[in-house]
Chains A and B, each alone.
Chain A
Amino acid sequence: MEASQQEFLQHLLNGVTLGSIYALIALGYTMVYGILQLINFAHSEVYMMGAFAAYYTGRSLNLDQSPGVLSFIILLVAAIVACSVLGLTIERLAYRPLRKAPKLNILITAIGVSLLLQYSAQIIFGAEPKLFPEVLADRTLFTVAEVEVRTLDITIFLVGTLAMGGLHFLIHHTRLGMAMRAVSVNGPVASLMGINVDRIIMWTFVVGSSLAAVGSVLVGLKYPKIDPLMGMLIGIKAFVAAVLGGIGSLPGAMLGGIFLGLSEEMVVAYLSSTYRDALAFGILIVVLLFRPAGLMGTPVREKV
């Protein structure tokens, strides 16, 4: 095989890996938007807190001394629990009191919560980066067509796919998922069916935050330096992925995430790494200009 072809395949693999992380986080934005029509800007900080919860759990249990699947699962569970509790707390304290307020008020509150968490984290954890516990050794597992497939790549891809598959099952084949879909189109009518809308909203935050938690552990393993501002850039990129796919659409968020991950990797590989972060914003502008409903979204006409 030619060297250039092999390189391309390697970039493809990296792109999909990065993309599944964006997709995991994008799902949290899109789920909350689907139910509350709110861009939950604090979502990226929930993600950051997940990484720190896993970090402190790993450190206190000395998990990097005993790497392996069990340690990895312990980190995942720690992050999921922490993120769910945080997501629920934010919903209860910051968003629920504003349920009937104008959308702009809630949006600004979301930005406020995001900043509050960023700077609280800097005070509590310190601003200097910390080294995430290395619970999975990253080695070459096998080589296909001269492309190295490494432990972390395959883990990220598998765990990401599993989480998204689980979400699909939850939304389309369970009672809770059916209630979520009902609330997302018409909350008042859903309540006539006996659905407790507040409880469904809480579950939405739990599920969305858990996906961010999974993302945070995967990122922690792949890029082990974590710090209180780590959520900012990846949060915005995941948001772009959600908008690209069509905000409110779950398959859209997955597609948008993978698309963004792939394009970023390709830009870095064939243009210049300088443009890596600019790309997301470029895509955002293009989407908003030409297809504001996103790839999978349905256009909504503003009612006047």
Chain B
Amino acid sequence: MSEVLLKAEDLRVRYGGILALKGVSFEVRRGEIVSLIGANGAGKTTTLRAISGLVNFEGRVEFTDKNKQTQSLGQVAKHNIVRLGLAHSPEGRGVFPNLSVRENLILGAYHRVDHVEIQKDLDHCYELFPRLKERIKQKAGTLSGGEQQMLAICRALMAKPSLLVLDEPSLGLAPLIVAQIFSIIQKVNQEGVTILLVEQNAKMALKVSHRAYVVETGLITLEGRGRDLLNDERIIASYLGGH
């Protein structure tokens, strides 16, 4: 089995007096696609926000950086986390609407100084998503939802991450676009990027995931291989529409 890239232990997050995460533990190994599935409000996004330093948490999150050093993410300033090799494409895409498509992508590589490589990665992005290339000069706010999602994923890839964190890439998109985006996610994974995925679209997520965790009201209630969970009675009843 490959080495552990990200390990969260007993992750707890409070919003005011409310405990939104009650002790979440999971791990992501190098080369995997791991998804966190669950209903609205279960704590999936909060988990990702804790990892990326956008909310304070108790517990431990360890990440193996590009130099194979283990870093405790709670002690890293939030703007330095991407430098360790963890790129986060946030919920609702978070593209900068007032910036052009190209500027959004360049910002994804903000911390990098290897300009030749950045140009190569830009070209690679355009290969993955040819529609973005047609729109490089357009303001990101004028793109369709699907195009914005593609841009958000590409922007995160521009950081050249070892772990790509995706928060609901299927949100509000037509089934055809969702299928397209998930096939790109698999392709990116095959190119060597480990992926942590949060999804409400459980079926789609489980199909592409090596492993998955089910999050319910701030706790992990189930875990297993993606294929197995896809056939699990409890999952079918709660998340796949039942029969």
Contact = CB atoms under 8 A, between A and B. Distances in A.
Interface in A170-220: 175, 178-179, 181-182, 184-186, 188-197
B54 A195 contact: no
B226 interface: no
Given A175-B110, A178-B106, A193 B98 contact: no
Interface stretch (B65-73, B77-85, B211-219): B77-85
Interface string B99-135: 1000100111011000000000000000000000000
A178 B103 contact: yes
A182 B107 contact: yes
A185 B110 contact: no
Contact of A178 (B52, B79, B80, B107): B107
Interface in B153-185: 155, 159
Contacts of B53: 191
B90 A189 contact: yes
B94 interface: yes
- Which of A175, A186, A193 counts the most chain B CB atoms within 10 A? A193
Contacts of A182: 96, 99, 107
B88 interface: yes
Given A193-B159, A194-B79, A197-B79, A185 B103 contact: no
A191 B96 contact: no
B41 interface: no
A188 B82 contact: no
Nearest to B152: A189
Nearest to B112: A194
A195 B94 CA distance: 14
Given A178-B106, A179-B110, A182-B107, A188 B79 contact: no
A193 B90 contact: no
B59 interface: no
Contacts of A190: 96, 107
Given A175-B110, A179-B110, A182-B99, A189 B94 contact: yes
B103 A193 contact: no
A304 to B, nearest CB: 18
A41 B216 CA distance: 47
B97 A185 contact: yes
21 contacts: A175-B110, A178-B103, A178-B106, A179-B110, A185-B98, A186-B96, A188-B54, A189-B96, A190-B107, A191-B54, A191-B79, A192-B81, A192-B87, A192-B94, A193-B155, A193-B159, A194-B79, A194-B80, A194-B82, A194-B83, A196-B77
